[in-house]
Chain A
Amino acid sequence: MKAKFSSILTLLLAFVVQITLAQEQTISGTVTDEDGLPLPGVNVLIKGTSTGTQTDFDGNYSIEAEMGDILSFSFVGLETTEVTVGSSNRIDVTMAADAAQLEEVVVTALGVTATPRSVTYAVEGVTAEEIENTGETNLVNSLSSKAAGVNVVSSSGSVGASSNIRIRGNTSINRSNSPLFIVDGVPIDNSSSGNGVGSVDQSNRAIDINQNDIASIDILKGTAAQTLYGLRAANGVVIITTKKGQTGAPTVSVSSTLQFSEVNQLPDLQSEYAQGRPVGGVPTYRGPETFEGFSWGPRIDALEYDGDTSYPYNRFGRLVPEGQGDGTPARAFDQKDFFVTGVLNEQNVSVRGGSEKVKYYISGGKLNQTGVAPTEEFNRRSFRADVTASLREDFEVSASGNYVTSGGRRVQRGSNVSGIMLGLLRTTPTFDNGNGLSGRDAADEPSTYQLPDGRQRSYRAGVYDNPYWTVAKNPSTDDVKRFIGRLSFEYKPFDWGTLKGSYGYDQYSDVRKQGIDINSASNPQGQVFDLSIFNEDINTQLLMLFDKNISDNITFNGIVGYDGFRTETLFRDVLGLGMTIPGFYNLSNTATQNPSESLSRRHLDAFLSEAKFGINETLFLNAAFRNDWSSTLPENDNNFQSYSFGASFVFSELFDSSFMDYGKLRGSYGKTGNDAPIYSTLTYYNAATSGGDGFIDSNQFPIFSTVAFERSAQQGNPGIRPEVTREFEVGAEFRFWNSRLKLDVTYYDKETEDQIIAVDQPAVTGFTSRVVNAGVISNKGWEALLGIKPIDTPGFSWDIDANFSAYDNVVEELAENVESITLAGFTSTSSRVLPGESYGAIFGSRYARNENGDVLIGDNGFPLVDPQDGVIGDPIPDFTVGVRNTFSFGNFSVSALIDVREGGDVWCGTCGILDYFGTSQTTAEQREITDFVFDGVNANTGQPNTQQVALADPAGGLGANRWIRYGFGGVSEDYIYDSSWFRLREASLTYRLPSSITENSFLSSGSFTASARNLFLVTDYPGIDPETNLTGSSNGIGLDYFNQPNTKSYALTVKLNF
């Protein structure tokens, strides 16, 4: 061995000497595309030799060559360029698109790259650039409006809030409808937990991905594309490829972003009427000490202050009728000054480089973000290393490790008396939450929200939390520590066969704490909730890939392999009730503690295979088959099959056209299965809970120092079968005039049957639900991509990229005696699945109507409510469009992404409650109307209603009020709004440092970007930005009940490479 080493050394030395003798020089330069963007990975070869290199991430290369050598620059999809080495040792090259070839590669299932022409289903790529300048912390949000058929709705503008992503709509009632996220071939967890109707916005775990590490994203939308991934991919796959090391000197990239965010839309509040209610038929002022919740009091301009500065609720004194005080007129306060400017600060650094044999990429990122609510914060730190080593010519191993810590401090929202928006928007205009201060100053000053005796200073004396109280005294923190690791190898013993194996490990702990201080509205005695989540996913994969030409015109590619998945999630929590020391959020400071534990685990194993034939590069046929075994299915019947087949036909090969470069038709059909929810085959016993009353907490055993158990409300079903999704899709792709115009159209038709759902069962059976196979959900839709290059000159170019999606997502049938299943929401208004209705249909109270659809009006002139609730809204948009315009001129580029959504109902529960309490602007404008005639017919006579009514006649008391008489929040139907919007989702201006600057510095390249997101929004929706969802990434949609508002933001980013 030793002898061998020294001989190699000798050889190397000899080589070096030879080089020196041959008068070589180092040639270096930058390779860019026609837009001036650097091209990484370009092969640079000295023609006629095997000496070569590749450009680095910034398009730079250096190579030893002699004068007279010809350097050949080649890159897939670009025209190969040759340059003869002259006297200069710098050669910069601009490479043009190869109109004849056009063959960039796309990443398909299992990370296999393929030429677009051979792909038989829709695949859409998103580049690193498209997600880098979005200003979004959450990767899921960055995908918004970027791809056809991909619909993203963020739950709110809270920092770290989860987002709901759907590819081609929803397919399942109970399962998550989120796509599978795969990083470098290994699936990672993107779950979220804790996003109910109340409490705080929690993250979805894809937020742990540092977007700066991403090289590209490919989205597989249809079933056929997913066959090889199996059941976890039933809702599409997001394939993320990270940046990798490359041969050459290390390049260091640093980037820094500073972003400012503010609230982009809030409901209109009134400022004319004071806190109070009618007493004895007269609107009467009733102050905070009366716990009054309503703003149905007298006109504010009929009141003045009494000047008593010792009055704790108002620094000007009590409100009294005009003439009885000190003459200082009463005033209305702006509740919205609670919100502040959020600041995001992000730094990233990465190093990439390597030798011929070992390549590495190392990165670190740090993000700190404060929200639009005081004290709200999100942090993320990420470290990543990725190493690839070629141990032999035919054997390569690679490993990556990514360590992330994320989390922060979240704020209360939603249906929750500690929620910010609930307390803020209900606050009567005559009460100043900040007591003269606003924003962070008010949150930092306890006297704004706390009385000297420790009780709460709020508009109704602690029934709802003062928003400043809740951000200061109801802290909710989460601390995620996550490790994602991968080991893989690639062994190529034959030129037609490659063996690939990988082992992926994704593990995190999420330690959460939620404190509710003494005197808080939601628990005046205080409480502490500790929750720890431990999640572990292990993915193992072994694949044999074949690549062989059967004859000169027939190619064959094949895969056989094994895919395994083990997951285990442990939840451990303790709820401690009754604190003694204020502000000390520790379980030792609570009087009683209730523990709970749950463990979910699932094993999946699969055999998979695929065969693909190409004929004359014109016709491609493929078929895939997969068999899954799942631990959640009944033991005797725990496996099921998925298959798909497809064809693509590049018809443009058959003729020569002066304007059409490329034309392709494709079609595919696939069937996949899905397994059952865990533990649903058996009936269990749970620690007993005494509930049945939605207004108060359950009594949770152990109580009375006694243990108690009772049978679960869900009946097990040992006869569950796997569910089945079938999908058919066809598409066409065209490119015209040297790809100046590109069009890609897809139609799909998908149906999921034998859904495994926990259906409601009448409680009188002793169970409220059971898991059954039932129900059919269909998805049909169109997707289109359009790319136009109206101007394309060396100095100036204009690109338009548009995507269009429209789909119907209908529940075709449910089980017998199952008329609806609630996905999320309230007893009064919810998002449900009902036969014949759109998935997630909004269900709630409505007016009684006759056969003609006329509202029935009672003799008192007010509409009657139907005793039975029904469907009142369809949350599925008619269509969505994303249009990006990019202009490049010289070193500048400007980009704007416009996002249009047409249709899609949202229930503004907030609006109903604000009308009820009398704080909405509507109630200021309409409360004095006395001659209102409701549209409809009299319920008894059938004649058109002519009865005039006063909308809020104080003489009739609260019960006669139009906004109160129908109960808390009114009739749900009144608060369904079309959420159509037109928004400038992203806009950016980038300036690239010209080579004249970089050449004479240590920099190799650099750029400055100014960007904005949500710069403007046009919508008729009266609440907050209608891109919102109360229950985060859950299956329920279209609900807005005191959700945290969304934001718009402005950012500056600097990127430097050296």
Chain B
Amino acid sequence: MKLYKITTVFFTVLFSLTLLVSCDYEDVNQDPTRPGGESVPLVAIVPAMQTQTHRNIGAVLGRYGGIIMQQWQGFDAQQLQYTSYVIGENDTNNPWDFGLYTGSMRDAADIIDRATQTDAPNTRGLAKIYMAINLGIATNIWGDVPYSEAFLGDANLTPKYDDQEELYGVLQNLLSEAITDLQADDPSGIQGDLIGGSTDEWIATAHALKARFYIQQTSVKSDAAQLALAEAQMALDSNGDQLDFIWENSQNGGHPLALFGFQRPNTMIIGEYFADLMMGDPRMDLYMVPDDGNNFLYFRSSNPNLFWAQLNSPSPVISYSELKFIEAEALERTGGDASEALFEAIRANMQYLGISTGNINAYIDAIGDVDIETIIVEKYKAMYGQAPIQVWNDYRRTGFPDITPNPNGENGLNPSGIVPRRLLYPISERQANPDAYQAAIDAQGGHLLDDDIWVFPSN
């Protein structure tokens, strides 16, 4: 009967194994490797918002700005096609989706909500500044963009595009609210700030950004220069007040321009126009090195002098130099004397880059009459590497510097062949938010590269 017993045991074991199973799954379907929203503190989200924002400034959108403005040019592959204005609906998808709206702007909106719930006004103020910077980039590039109905998840799956004029009001409001929030008493202070700025420094930066957004409206708002000037006076006083996001000297934490140099070697080089313009400039060696042929490179892995092409290069939130250029332009436009502000702008930039005082003075002494063109061309030189989108903005509202469009720049995306005035809305919007997308295109009369956006009319 031994056999029978073995089978009984075996049978019992197997059967009980089967019965151990139950249909109550409890937490089987909860991912143990990722936290849920409730356990994530503000201090953990702020670094994400900041890093993505500074990446947006210097990565693909910055490269489009710099290529269109001929600070850079493609040497082969995609960058070459962008140089002849083949920038389509696919080329804007990634920065729109993951850089801005489901990137830094998502994080900023999330922080604003959470900081409101947990009563953390200083941190909310920081998030509003960052929201303004990113929304500013979005509207500079695409004109009308979603904001008032955005970030609501499936509560609103088809956010409308807000009129750009309204968005410029939103930008000023965000920054004004940010200033109020930063002035509020908050025992926890600004949480998670990778830059480590004080509330006063952030308030000054908020004013500088307000000045930037006002000066962008010179073509469409008569008191733009006046308003910019007033804000500039409440903003930064020196390079020492400037808040810089410093990238890490590692591939994982590196500056996007250096990463591009490493990871897409020799596909983008210094633009011919810019190289010619910078001949003899004391900043030239800090911006570019000659290659074996007739070209200049913005990146060389072994060259530590290239200021904007190091893994740990900085990314200013807004530079003191830019603020002084804005002030100079505002003065010039309001009948004041712009030269002191302009010289301070150039000096600030050169000092920041480490140019000797003698060279700075010699350079400034050589500047003749100051007019809008001088200011914008000097700004074009100074903003290299740190604010390529601002350089494109300035061109679109002033026409300076007076670059020549690429002779092969006429294509289906840019039928008139001019220097692009905007970028196309991404294909993701065409396919996932089609009605709002079409309404925005209709409202603006098109979205091809040669269609104007409201704030930068071409005439």
Contact = CB atoms under 8 A, between A and B. Distances in A.
A706 B410 CA distance: 47
A858 interface: yes
Nearest to A635: B25
A605 B254 CA distance: 49
Given A713-B102, A767-B153, A819-B431, A762 B265 contact: no
A845 B88 contact: yes
Interface string A591-633: 1101001110111010000000000000000000000010110
A703 B262 contact: no
Given A578-B251, A703-B248, A706-B194, A762 B157 contact: yes
Given A462-B265, A684-B31, A696-B259, A703 B51 contact: yes
Nearest to A679: B31
A524 interface: yes
A279 to B, nearest CB: 8
Interface string B139-156: 000000110001111101
A967 interface: yes
- Of A391, A632, A866, which is in contact with the most chain B CB atoms at under 10 Å from its CB? A391
Given A392-B7, A690-B48, A703-B51, A696 B266 contact: no
A715 interface: yes
A131 interface: no
Given A691-B103, A695-B264, A592 B86 contact: no
A956 B408 contact: yes
Given A766-B150, A967-B78, A540 B21 contact: yes
B107 interface: yes
A974 interface: no
A693 B95 contact: yes
B99 to A, nearest CB: 3
A592 B312 CA distance: 14
B111 to A, nearest CB: 10
A439 B159 CA distance: 58
Contact of A709 (B40, B301, B408, B427): B40
B76 interface: yes
Interface string B394-429: 000000000000111011110000000000100111
B411 A864 contact: yes
Contact of B266 (A460, A487, A848): A460
Contacts of A523: 251, 262-263
Contacts of B184: none
Interface stretch (B54-62, B362-370, B373-381, B383-391): B54-62
A599 B14 contact: no
A860 interface: yes
B150 A682 contact: no
A38 B89 CA distance: 65
B37 A711 contact: yes
Nearest to B146: A764
A431 B304 CA distance: 32
A306 to B, nearest CB: 16
Contacts of B94: 691-694, 827
Given A523-B262, A605-B21, A768-B98, A965 B84 contact: yes
Contact of B17 (A540, A578, A594): A540
A21 interface: no
Interface stretch (A80-88, A288-296, A888-896, A998-1006): A288-296
Given A965-B411, A968-B81, A540 B102 contact: no
B292 interface: yes
Contacts of B77: 293, 968
A786 interface: no
B31 A599 contact: yes
Interface string A206-235: 000000000000000000000000000000
A681 interface: yes
B163 interface: no
A767 B102 CA distance: 6
Contacts of A635: 25
Nearest to B48: A688
Contact of B7 (A293, A391, A704): A391
A856 B101 CA distance: 35
Contacts of A540: 17-18, 21
Given A678-B29, A709-B35, A768-B98, A489 B410 contact: no
Nearest to A707: B44
Given A525-B262, A592-B251, A709-B35, A764 B101 contact: yes
B279 interface: no
B270 interface: no
B459 interface: no
A845 B86 CA distance: 12
Given A491-B11, A763-B96, A682 B30 contact: yes
A686 B78 contact: no
A302 interface: no
B29 A681 contact: yes
Interface in B41-66: 44-49, 51-52, 55-56, 59-60
Contacts of B91: 827
Interface in B339-358: none
A715 B260 CA distance: 31
A1008 interface: no
Interface in B90-121: 90-91, 93-103, 105-107, 109-110
B80 interface: yes
A544 B99 CA distance: 58
A627 B29 CA distance: 20
B263 A693 contact: no
A710 B107 contact: yes
Contact of B150 (A293, A564, A605, A765): A765
Contacts of B33: 597-599
Given A692-B98, A699-B252, A290 B37 contact: no
A704 B103 CA distance: 19
A524 B248 contact: no
A760 B154 CA distance: 12
Nearest to A913: B77
Nearest to B263: A696
Contact of A695 (B60, B84, B410): B60
A639 B159 CA distance: 35
Contacts of B434: 817, 819
Contacts of A13: none
A710 B48 contact: yes
A762 B80 CA distance: 29
Nearest to A862: B411
Contacts of B250: 577-578, 591-592, 703
A465 to B, nearest CB: 12
A693 B60 contact: yes
B141 to A, nearest CB: 13
A695 B260 contact: yes
Interface string A866-898: 111100000000000000000000000000000
A489 B98 contact: no
Contacts of A681: 29
Given A692-B56, A864-B411, A709 B80 contact: no
Interface in A709-766: 709-713, 715, 717, 759-766
A699 B55 contact: yes
B291 interface: yes
A999 B260 CA distance: 73
Contact of B253 (A592, A686, A767, A965): A592
Interface of B: 2-4, 6-7, 10-11, 14-15, 17-18, 21-23, 25, 28-37, 40, 44-49, 51-52, 55-56, 59-60, 75-78, 80-81, 84, 86, 88-91, 93-103, 105-107, 109-110, 145-146, 150-154, 156-159, 192, 194, 248, 250-254, 256, 259-260, 262-267, 291-293, 301, 406-408, 410-413, 424, 427-436, 448
- Among all A-B residue pairs, the 8 with the closest Cβ atoms: A692-B99, A959-B408, A688-B48, A967-B81, A703-B253, A631-B25, A762-B433, A763-B97
11 contacts: A462-B265, A463-B265, A521-B265, A592-B253, A638-B25, A685-B36, A710-B110, A762-B101, A869-B90, A959-B408, A965-B84
